[in-house]
Amino acid sequence: MKRGKNPRAQMQLSFGMIFSIILIIVFIAFAFFAVKKLLGMQDSIKVGQFADKLQSDIDKIWKGSQGSQMETYTLPSKIEFICFVDYSSSRRGPKQSYYGELKQVYYEGEDMILYPIGSGAGSDSFKILHLNIEKITDNENPYCIENKKGKVELIIEKDFGENLVGITR
């Protein structure tokens, strides 16, 4: 038998190499997809933690007779504003052009909305308890606080004799 190159062996080797390359491409594509989904969940988690921490800080002030504290919260940078809206009032303010867009995620009772709509990773509006929304939106409705490089600074306050908590910039 002659010792030469077997064309059949070369074909099987080529098929094995091609199949391996295809598998590697599939695994890399899946890895990129998984990383993208995890980063998307990170934004959703930040929004949820923001809402929980804000509610906790409001509850602390609300339980006392009076108080004021400045808090800094972390949010995804694609959120431009945190807006407090009183839909039962006809008052408007400088950001009244946002009012109609914010109403898209108002279902019943929400008073805090993340702008632009859709930037909250599935959670764009929240009902915050013990909040004096009438006082907050007295001069501006919606009352929006800017998210600067992923940080939002709020002053949470309650004066003596008030039942609810207010928020200012």
For residue 131, the cross-strand partners are 165
* pTM score of the predicted model: 0.73
Domain boundaries, the chain: 38-168
44-103 pLDDT tens trace: 888 889 999 999 999 999 998 888 899 999 999 899 999 898 877 776 666 666 767 777
100-148 pLDDT tens trace: 777 777 777 888 888 888 777 778 888 989 999 888 888 888 898 999 9
Q: Provide DSSP, 107-136.
A: -SS--EEEESTTTTTT--EEPPTTB-HHHH
